[in-house]
Amino acid sequence: MAGVIFHRRTGITTVNAQRLIATTFLLLAVATGNVWTGSATAHAEDSVDTAADATVTLPTDFEGLLYALPDAELSERGAIILALAATRDERVLPILGALLDGRLQSSSDPTRLVLLADASDDPQAADALSGDALGASSALSLDRITLNNAMRGQLRDLLARLQLSSTVVRERMAAARRMIAAGATPESLALINEHLPNETDNDVRDALQTVLDLAALDSEDSAIRATAVTGLAHALYPEVHNRLTLIASDDADAAVRAAATKALRELDTRISRYRLLENVFFGLSMGSVLLLAAVGLAITFGVMGVINMAHGELMMLGAYTTWVLQQLMPNHLAASLLLSIPAAFLVAGIVGIAIERGVIRFLYGRPLETLLATFGISLILQQAVRSIFSPLNRSVSSPAFMSG
């Protein structure tokens, strides 16, 4: 037949080949449909199994629930988190907060739950139950406890509920700030409306009202959005400034855009005032440090006739003394800071006495030679610090009463 080509080796014409290909695709389509149907059935069966697994018996004590968390299936972790919150243990808030932030990790050698101080490259670790310091996390074998998005939302609502019911003002403020940063769910908004009339602290009440006003910005009613914008004109949070900036340029209602522009002007005026005060404060702080160094140099030269080029290195030793004390007392930052004040004087004083007895006393009356000698001592002290503490920066943490 015309238009039909016969393949010599296989004996298949193009017409037969087309029929064979069509039949093959038809069979594949049927098989694929069966596979998808079977997958959906298997998924439904897995959901039933998961629901059945979620009804397993959980420990009733706080420690048992906590140790069951790392090895539990994802379907069980939600139930364990709810059970942990229901214990009302005083340790539950920091532990659930660390779990949400990814700072709660498990160690199998030995078996324990570990809290990391922060999310840096090599944070300090502590036992989640006892609070005992465990040193740098790099020295431990740790596994992160994973969560899905549903559990994270559940944790945020639980933390908000627990913190808002706390008797500590700091905890209630932390809950409000968390919702300002991450946004509030409908459950959180209902909780705020329930708690707000009974709130006694003005700052916490203002922060909770800010959460409600931010949520009201999503309303379809322009009058509600305008009222919320007016209420946010005094909220000095970056999230508020960002939302008002978007509304001032993108909102469909002209009155709302005008209110947002006015609120932004008020916020920018207040921010500029606070920045001026901040610059004055930091300027006085830095100036006091430079003045202290200058007075020390002047006294040393005026009384002893010595040009001490190692004066800055002696101040450096006082700073490293503060850092060492914080490493020795990681769970008592305030006490370590207070102890570091006399300790820094002692360390710097002992090193100064050693410099005077070993070098300076042989050079009195020769100021230029003291300049050269103390310059060499400064290089020795710098290299000693690099060798002992490494050339990397070491940060000193501020206690809670100095933060903010």
| pLDDT for residue 14 | 40
In the 8-state DSSP scheme, what is residue 90?
T
| pLDDT for residue 51 | 38
Q: Which DSSP string corresponds to 117-136?
A: SSSSSS-EEEETTT--EEEE
pLDDT at 18 > cutoff 60: no
Residue keyed to tokens 């509920």: 161
| pLDDT for residue 307 | 92
**pLDDT-derived band of residue 84, with 50, 70 and 90 as boundaries?**
confident
| pLDDT for residue 119 | 67
Residue keyed to tokens 């409600």: 212
Residue type, 305: G
Q: Cα separation of 325 and 207, whole Å?
A: 36
Tens digit of each residue's pLDDT (9 = 90 or more) over 300-321: 899 888 999 999 999 999 999 9
pLDDT at 232 > cutoff 60: yes
Enumerate residues 6+ apart whose C-beta is below 8 A from 398: 333, 337
* pLDDT top residue among 132 and 377: 377
Q: Could you check whether the bond before residue 110 is cis, i.e. omega within 30 degrees of 0?
A: yes
| pLDDT for residue 142 | 83
Flag the least confident range among 14-23, 163-172, 215-224: 14-23
**pLDDT-derived band of residue 178, with 50, 70 and 90 as boundaries?**
confident
- Computed over every residue of the chain, the mean pLDDT equals 81
H-only helix segments in 232-366: 238-250, 254-304, 311-328, 333-358
pLDDT at 53 > cutoff 60: no
Residue keyed to tokens 């919702």: 179
Tens digit of each residue's pLDDT (9 = 90 or more) over 89-123: 778 888 888 888 888 888 877 777 887 877 667 78
pLDDT at 244 > cutoff 80: yes
| pLDDT for residue 56 | 56
pLDDT at 271 > cutoff 80: yes
Tens digit of each residue's pLDDT (9 = 90 or more) over 55-75: 557 777 888 888 888 888 877
Tens digit of each residue's pLDDT (9 = 90 or more) over 23-34: 444 444 444 444
Q: How many CB atoms lie within 10 A of CB 25?
A: 10
Enumerate residues 6+ apart whose C-beta is below 8 A from 147: 77, 99, 100, 155
Q: Cα separation of 171 and 165, whole Å?
A: 9
Q: How far is CA 87 from CA 62, 91, 98, 164, 180, in A?
A: 7, 10, 17, 16, 27
| pLDDT for residue 319 | 93
Residue type, 363: L
| pLDDT for residue 356 | 94
Q: Cα separation of 247 and 356, whole Å?
A: 67
Q: How far is CA 364 from CA 300, 368, 374, in A?
A: 12, 10, 13
pLDDT above 90 covers a percentage of the chain that reads 35
Q: Cα separation of 159 and 97, whole Å?
A: 7
